[in-house]
Each structure stands twice: as C-alpha cells, then as structure tokens.
Structure 1
Amino acid sequence: MSFTRAQWAPLRANTPLLLGEDELEKLRGVNEPMPVHEVAEIFLPLSRLVNLHVTAARRLLQVTDTFLMRPSLSPPFILGVAGSVAVGKSTIARVMRALLARWPEHPRVELVTTDGFLLPNAELEARGLMRRKGFPESYDVGRLLRFLADVKSGQETVQAPVYSHLTYDVVRDETVTVHRPDILIVEGINVLQGPEATRDGDGVGRPRVVVSDFFDFSIYVDADEDALERWYVNRFLTFRDTAFRDPESYFHRYSQLSQPEAIDTARGIWREINLVNLQQNIVGTRERATVILRKDAHHAVEEVRLRRTDPTPPVELR
C-alpha cells in the first residue's frame, strides 16, 4: 500500500510530539536535514505503527504461553533499518529510537549498528576484501547472528562490538552492553539480506539463518541513485574539512585534496564501491521490508509504502 505525505501524516492519530528541536539537532547526521515537521508527518505515525506491532507481538506470545501453561516473558522486539550508504538511515534509526522510547509500553530502546560486526581491517586486508568493505562477505555474520539470538532469547546482558569511524576499524577489545531492551533497533546496509541455500556434502541445499530472520519489523530507506551519489559526495566534502583533518583519521590523506580532486575521489569511491554494493546486494532487499520510505532529492520522505499480506482470496471450485 502506498501513501503520500498527506495521506500518511494523519495516521499519527493523537500521538503527541515529545521530541524537541534541541534533542533533534543531536540526532541529525552530517548534511542530513530532519526538520520537526518531517518527524511529525512521517516518523511519528511510523512510531505509532511500530508500537501497535509491539503490543500485538506481546499479546500473541501471551496466547502461546497460556496454551503451554508457562509464565509469559516477552522477548525484545527487533526493528531493522536498511538502505544505501548516505541515504540517511542512521539519522532515521536515532530518531525512531528517541520516539519509541517515549511510548510508555516500551521505555527501554537500544540501537546497534552492524558496523561493529565488520571484520577487522587486518583480516579484510588478508582476505583481499578492503575494497569490498560493507559488502556481505566483509562482516562477521556468525557473531552478528549469535548476538541477535542472545538478545531475542531474553538474555539479561549481551555484548556488541564497537566500530570507530575515525580509525575506520573495529575497536579491539571494546564492546557496548545491551541490557535486555524492550525494543532493539539494528541498523545497517545489508541487514535485509534474504536466506540462501547452502549445500552440504550430500549436495542437498538447506536454508541458512540470516539476520532478518530475527526482525519483527523492518524499514528500508530508498532514494534515486543520482541523489545518493550527490549526498555521498557532499558528505565527503564536509568530512574533508572536518573529521578528515584529524591526524588520527584513517582518511586524513584526503584532507589535503583540492575541491575538484575531492569531488573526483568521492565520485570514484561511490561508483566503484558503494554503487556496486547497492546494485548487487542492497536494493534487491528493498521489497522484504515492512515499510519503505522513499526520499526525494532533498532528503524529505515523499512516499511511504507499507507491505501487507492480505488473506488468501477464496478459491472457486469447479
């Protein structure tokens, strides 16, 4: 089902906007506008929808627990956020976390990005994968799946690895602790990858568990490739004048580029790496999302698509 902004905004019903401009400013990413009216018209209705899903999931689990005559203990609700590099999914994940934490039914909302589950640079170098960083094969998928399984099983505390965007690498021996949240948001470019058959020694294909198997709800942030390239280049130029100037930055060498050189470099990285990953691995997962947020050229969501499975129509017997 497809909704324009005008059709989607009233679905917030009477949900109040409790997120102020000061807090919103801290949630915005680099060159990613997120005005208050965008939150009110797009993300407040979306937070209401997720809240309804959380409530329904808990009720369904209670039914099963009642049948099994055992105490009911709801596992964390897991929300996935996917999309291309530079599409603004990190900002959206942070905004959704702030909005969902204000619902009294689930005050504890945690956010984890899959960057921490990338293989360390040394291992990527050894495998010849540095220029495929962010592609599915560059992640420690087994560790990510174990993390999600532990969270979903209701463990009190679970550790997630930490990633540094300054050094462009996983931080060795450093973790962040997730304390049994009501909702866990998992954000990353490839989190909606579908199951693929793996063949054992007997030649039989068997389904493989994937990250999205643990999701109760998922969001895909979508935009045209031309817009994505422009946003990526603009972000690169901003970093050239800010973060890249830090001598500790992995990309410090780029801080010395002239404006034309920086634009050419950013376009090259986008077209040779990020665009290839988008076309080969990311955009194909879009239709698996519960909700698709379609952005216009100015980062504003212009369309919301909601996937709904209707009951099977009656079959006419002849």
Structure 2
Amino acid sequence: MALMSETLPFTIMRTDELLDSARDLTDRKEGARAVLGLAGPPGAGKSTLARALVEGLRRRYGPLAAAYVPLDGFHLSNAQLERLGLTSRKGSPPTFDVHGYVALLRRLVVEGDHDIYVPDFDRTLDEPVAARHVVRPGAELVVTEGNYLACELPGWSEARGVMDEVWYVDADPEERRRRLVERQVAGGRTPEEAREWVRTNDMPNAEIVEASKGAPWVKRAFHWSGHD
C-alpha cells in the first residue's frame, strides 16, 4: 500500500465518484481480489457507505463486483466482555477480536474458490452473529469497514496490511452524536441513557479514531454526501 506523507483535507464526496475510485482499485489488481478499508469514527456513516458501494458496484458490474465485510462481526460477545471487565467499554479497541478479523481478511485474499462466510453484529440482540454475509468465489472487491482500521494499534496495522487502500470517512461531530443517540435509543435505551452512553463510550472511542485521520496510509479522507 502506498503511503502518503501529508495530512489530507476533508472534501465532500459523492457516491458516483467513490464508485469510480473503488472500481479503479479493482482494475489495478488485474484479476486478484482487492480489499478496500473504510475507517472513521462511530456514527460517520461507514457501514451505510460500504453497503452503498457494494450495491452500486453490483448494479454496474454484476453480482460478483463487490462483497461486504463488516468489522462489527468481530465484536466480543457480551459474555466475554463481562469476563474481561469491558462491558462499559463496548466498541473500544480491546473489545474486538482483531486477530480473528485479520485471519478472515487473509483468507479472503488467498482463498477464492469457495464461499467464505462473514459474521456481523445484530443491534437487536446486541451480540455478534455468525455467517450473516458471504463472499462468493470470484468476488472482485471486498469492502470492509470499522472504526480503527487506520489506527496504529496492536493488531490493526496487521489488518491494514491486507488492504489495498484505506479511506477515512467522517461527518460533522454533532451529526455523529445525533446518529449515535438515535442508534442507542433504537437499541432499547432511554434518551437519557443513550446520551450518557454516547458521552462516556462512543465519543471517547471517536477520539481514538480521530487521531488516525492524518495517518500516511490513509489514501483519502472525506465527508460522504449520502445516497446521490
């Protein structure tokens, strides 16, 4: 992966522009499977963008153009968080099985002749679930997303080493906060509980992520304009 030496300014990117860039990444791999990583703080729209890219590429180029691999499938279960004393820090770097995530990414770039099943996180259950997604043989691009993909932290640099490019996705802090509170309310917390969770957990996690936005391995940093 090429390194960039300067901090990248934020721009507003449209979906069609990002689809073109993602397809360019596939074309440069000349038949090998490419991996695009979307980093950024909680509530920035990473998962929504990742799904939009996968859906858009499939519409343009066929069902094997792209596949979705969310980091959130590698959340530790609530039982493991309780064992480790990390329940109140859910979503922070040590609450993910980063080594399992790296192992899956490595499989994805070397095993292309069979289905590879991918876990996800179920917000209703508040638990990871196995095999919600599948990467089919011949899938050309894996779009993966997660908060810490650009961070210089144990395990995350190994994950980044499997990626061909890393993009940093952001949004206005107040907009991120609003989305995060809505997410927690939808998950069953009261508005007061949701705001407290965001203040004490999501926003500190965001500070960790924000320190990585100018990292030299971030190919581009932008605010996504949404579905357009």
Q: TM-score, normalised by structure 2?
A: 0.82
Aligned match of 2:213: 286
Change (3 A) 1:165 1:230: closer
Query: What 5-or-longer segments of structure 2 have no aligned partner?
Result: 1-7
Change (3 A) 1:137 1:98: same
1:141 maps onto 2:98 in alignment: yes
On the 8 A contact 1:194/1:210 being kept in 2, the answer is: no
Of 14, 17, 29, which aligns to 1:45?
Answer: 17
Aligned match of 2:181: 233
Tell me the alpha carbon deviations over residues 159-193 of structure 1, each in whole angstroms, 9 at most, x when there is no partner: 3224321110123x656432231111111112222
User: CA-atom RMSD, angstroms?
Assistant: 2.6
Provide the rounded CA distance (Å) in 2 between the counterparts of 1:289 and 1:155. 27
Provide the rounded CA distance (Å) in 1 between the counterparts of 2:156 and 2:166. 19
Per the TM alignment, residue 56 of structure 1 is displaced from its structure 2 partner at its CA by 2.1
Aligned match of 1:92: 49
Per the TM alignment, residue 235 of structure 1 is displaced from its structure 2 partner at its CA by 4.1
Per the TM alignment, residue 50 of structure 1 is displaced from its structure 2 partner at its CA by 2.1
Tell me which moved more, 116-125 or 225-234.
Answer: 225-234
Of 117, 129, 136, which aligns to 2:74?
Answer: 117
Q: Note the 1:70-89 alignment, pairs <5 A.
A: 74-89=31-46
Aligned match of 1:159: 117
Provide the rounded CA distance (Å) in 2 between the counterparts of 1:165 and 1:208. 24
Per the TM alignment, residue 226 of structure 1 is displaced from its structure 2 partner at its CA by 2.7
On the 8 A contact 1:222/1:293 being kept in 2, the answer is: yes
SS in 2 for 1:211: helix
Letter paired with 2:48: T
Q: TM-score, normalised by structure 1?
A: 0.60
Per the TM alignment, residue 93 of structure 1 is displaced from its structure 2 partner at its CA by 0.9
Tell me the alpha carbon deviations over residues 226-249 of structure 1, each in whole angstroms, 9 at most, x when there is no partner: 332123224444x2xxxx5xxxxx
Query: What 5-or-longer segments of structure 1 have no aligned partner?
Result: 9-41, 59-73, 197-206, 245-250, 302-318
Aligned match of 1:128: 85
Provide the rounded CA distance (Å) in 2 between the counterparts of 1:3 and 1:140. 30
Letter paired with 2:127: D
Letter paired with 1:265: E
- How many pairs are equivalent? 215
